[in-house]
């Protein structure tokens, strides 16, 4: 993708990744700019008529009853941005920052926020110039939008805050200057237009879910490699079984496993003398578990893609209705900033991915445990006893699983009223997004551990070879980590292989 045209439309996770990770250029659709002009005209009309409208000429939240005089409206918006930039913690990654800017620009392009075209164009210019606001990851409760993170984004637009430009962290105004951009002086309603929305949780959660979907499909490859190394049977992947229980993800996972295993010498070598009727659940039930995780993540991706093209500002501006007539739909206050749809989805994804990582860890143990690993050496060591082999790898996986189990406790069931009780029910969606991101990190490492162990185990079955697909994947693993002979530090190998997974090095086996 060379250029993404923003029209306020739903964005796919692939499109968000293209801009956030690959630096795809962004442009605004002419129709979007026309809508922005129309909605801004309505705001200007309300101001000229001297009417009172929340967020335009009033205070915010608990202070919404305070009327602000016309000569102080610009200061009102500036104060809003500065006062809400209270985020703490580590900054979001540059990719997550880019995703936030992209999503906010797309939402404003819908023409429901009452801002000037210059504000939307300014966000697009940030993206295309590679100016990335420094946005602390903590401080949002996910209702009234991601106020603190979006305030840090807005600071850079006005020439304040901090930004990353060409790999260097600097003052926001300096980043704009070096990129040849001018700061924007906010007009009435524009600070609120930047701050009210779910773009922080959508950015963090969206990029995490894109990675999670890759892991869920790559689990088929890792599991197939383990099945072969453990002399298991693919009988449980027969399509008749899965058509009898037609969950889409289950059918897809079973078909993928059959495809990966086709033409295996290892399978043919033990087919006739195989006395087992059924394998352990971690092998036999891969379609059911992997497929269920696929279905959950597909659902969550759909929620995110809808949100990416949704108006989440408050109040919303609907041109074409009589100015100031709230019942007519001109400027209407509501709650589209509430993150409940995303918060629930992130918790759902966290649960599914934690369980997916759990079944992966069970296969790791089965490869290493000499009591159940079908004649493979203990811990896949060439010299068990003198060498510990991959013993610690399973322990690391167990530690990561426990962290996932803790992190998969739902954030969305927690509520702490804010803003003097005005905002008395919040989503905690940003917490859910951050937790999910960490679970994905762990799942990538656990998947890498299984692939590393399975590759070693397959080599103990030589001269027999697995299927062409698995042998090709084995070669890819070996291009990243070498065979384990004498004991060595494994953390470097785990991180290298997990990094390759994250970078898409195994995407050829994702289906």
Q: Which residues does the annotation mark as catalytic? A: 54
Q: How far apart are CA 139 and CA 324, in angstroms?
A: 34
Give the helix/strand (H/E) hosting 450: helix 429-459
Average pLDDT of the chain to the nearest whole number: 94
Per-residue pLDDT reduced to its tens digit, 198-251: 999 999 999 999 999 999 999 999 999 999 999 999 999 999 999 999 999 999
CB 139 within 8 A of CB 204: no
Above pLDDT 90, what percent of the chain?
A: 86
pLDDT digits (tens, 9 = 90+) for 453-477: 999 999 999 999 999 999 999 999 9
The beta strands (E) that lie in 128-255 are given as 131-133, 136-138, 162-165, 168-171
Owner of token pair 């918790």 = 347
Task: Please tell me the chain's helix, strand, coil percentages from 3-state DSSP, rounded to the nearest 5.
Answer: 60, 5, 35
Taking residues 141-151, what's their average pLDDT?
Answer: 95
Q: How many CB atoms lie within 10 A of CB 334?
A: 11
Lowest pLDDT segment from 38-42, 257-261, 418-422: 418-422
**Which pLDDT score is estimated for 56?**
84
Look at the chain and count its residues.
511
Following DSSP, what letter does each residue of 28-53 receive, concatenated? E-HHHHHHHHHHHHHHHHHHHHT---
What's the average model confidence in pLDDT over 100-105? 98
Quick check: 345 pLDDT over 80?
Answer: yes
Beta-bridge partner residues of 170: 163
Burial code (b: 16+ CB inside 10 Å, e: under 16) for 477-498 equals beebbeebeeeeebeebbeebb
Q: Confidence class of residue 272 from pLDDT cuts 50, 70 and 90?
A: low
Q: Identify the band that residue 326 occupies on the pLDDT scale cut at 50, 70 and 90.
A: very low
Instruction: Give the closest residue to 194 by CA, choosing from 143, 154, 244.
Output: 154
Tell me the C-alpha distance between 5 and 165, whole Å: 23
Q: Quick count: other Cβ atoms within 10 Å of Cβ 89?
A: 11
Q: What is the pLDDT of residues 482-501, one digit of tens each?
A: 999 999 999 999 999 999 99
Q: Is the link from the previous residue into 273 a cis peptide, with omega within 30 of 0? A: no
**From CA 233, how far away is CA 462, in angstroms rounded?**
18
Q: Which residue's structure tokens are 């005005």?
A: 422
Region of residue 69 (phi > 0: left; psi between -120 and 50: alpha; otherwise: beta) = beta
User: What gap in Å lies between CA 352 and CA 359, rounded to an integer?
Assistant: 11
> Shortest CA distance to 145 belongs to which of 419, 336, 415, 412?
336
Structure tokens at 82: 């500065």
pLDDT bin (cut points 50, 70, 90) of residue 52 is: confident
pLDDT at 327: 45
Task: Provide the pLDDT confidence category of residue 273 given band limits of 50, 70 and 90.
Answer: low
How does residue 178 score in pLDDT terms, banded at 50, 70 and 90? very high
- Token pair listed for 403: 């962290």
pTM above the 0.85 mark? yes
pLDDT greater than 70 at residue 417 = yes
């Amino acid at each position: 993708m060379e250029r993404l045209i923003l029209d306020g439309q739903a964005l796919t996770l692939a499109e968000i990744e293209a801009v956030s990770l690959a630096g795809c250029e962004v442009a605004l659709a002419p129709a979007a700019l026309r809508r922005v002009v129309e909605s801004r005209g309505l705001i200007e009309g309300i101001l000229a008529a001297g009417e009172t409208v929340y967020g335009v000429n009033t205070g915010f939240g608990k202070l919404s009853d305070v009327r602000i005089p016309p000569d102080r409206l610009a200061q009102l918006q500036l104060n809003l941005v500065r006062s809400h930039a209270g985020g703490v913690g580590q900054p979001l990654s540059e990719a997550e920052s880019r995703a936030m800017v992209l999503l906010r620009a797309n939402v404003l392009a819908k023409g429901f926020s009452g801002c000037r075209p210059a504000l939307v164009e300014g966000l697009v210019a940030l993206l295309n110039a590679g100016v990335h606001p420094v946005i602390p990851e903590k401080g949002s409760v996910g209702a009234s939008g991601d106020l603190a993170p979006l305030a840090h984004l807005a600071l850079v637009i006005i020439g304040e805050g901090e930004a990353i430009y060409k790999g260097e962290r600097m003052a926001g105004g300096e980043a704009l200057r070096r990129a040849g951009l001018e700061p924007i002086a906010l007009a009435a309603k524009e600070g609120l237009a930047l701050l009210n929305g779910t773009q922080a949780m959508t950015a963090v959660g969206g990029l995490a879910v894109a990675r999670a979907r890759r892991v869920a499909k790559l689990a088929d490859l890792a599991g197939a490699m383990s099945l072969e190394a453990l002399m298991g049977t693919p009988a449980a992947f027969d399509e008749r079984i899965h058509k009898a229980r037609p969950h889409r993800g289950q059918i897809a996972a079973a078909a993928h496993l059959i495809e990966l295993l086709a033409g295996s010498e290892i399978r043919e070598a033990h087919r006739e003398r195989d006395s087992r009727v059924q394998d352990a659940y971690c092998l036999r039930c891969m379609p059911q578990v992997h497929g269920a995780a696929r279905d959950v993540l597909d659902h969550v991706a759909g929620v995110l893609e809808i949100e990416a093209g949704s108006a989440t500002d408050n109040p919303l501006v609907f041109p074409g209705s009589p100015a100031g007539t709230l019942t007519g739909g001109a400027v209407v206050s509501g709650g589209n900033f509430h993150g409940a749809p995303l918060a629930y989805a992130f918790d759902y994804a966290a649960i599914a991915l934690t369980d997916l990582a759990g079944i992966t860890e069970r296969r790791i143990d089965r490869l290493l445990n000499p009591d159940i690993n079908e004649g493979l050496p203990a811990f896949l060591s060439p010299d068990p006893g003198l060498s510990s082999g991959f013993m610690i790898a399973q322990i690391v996986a167990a530690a990561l699983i426990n962290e996932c189990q803790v992190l998969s406790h739902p954030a969305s069931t927690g509520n702490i009223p804010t803003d003097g009780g005005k905002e008395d029910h919040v989503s905690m969606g940003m917490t859910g997004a951050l937790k999910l991101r960490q679970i994905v990190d762990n799942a990538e490492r656990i998947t890498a551990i299984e692939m590393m162990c399975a590759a070693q185990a397959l080599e103990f079955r030589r001269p027999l070879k697995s299927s062409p697909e698995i042998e090709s994947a084995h070669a890819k693993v070996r291009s990243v980590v070498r065979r384990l002979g004498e004991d060595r530090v494994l953390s470097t190998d785990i991180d290298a292989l997990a990094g390759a997974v994250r970078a898409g090095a195994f995407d050829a086996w994702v289906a």
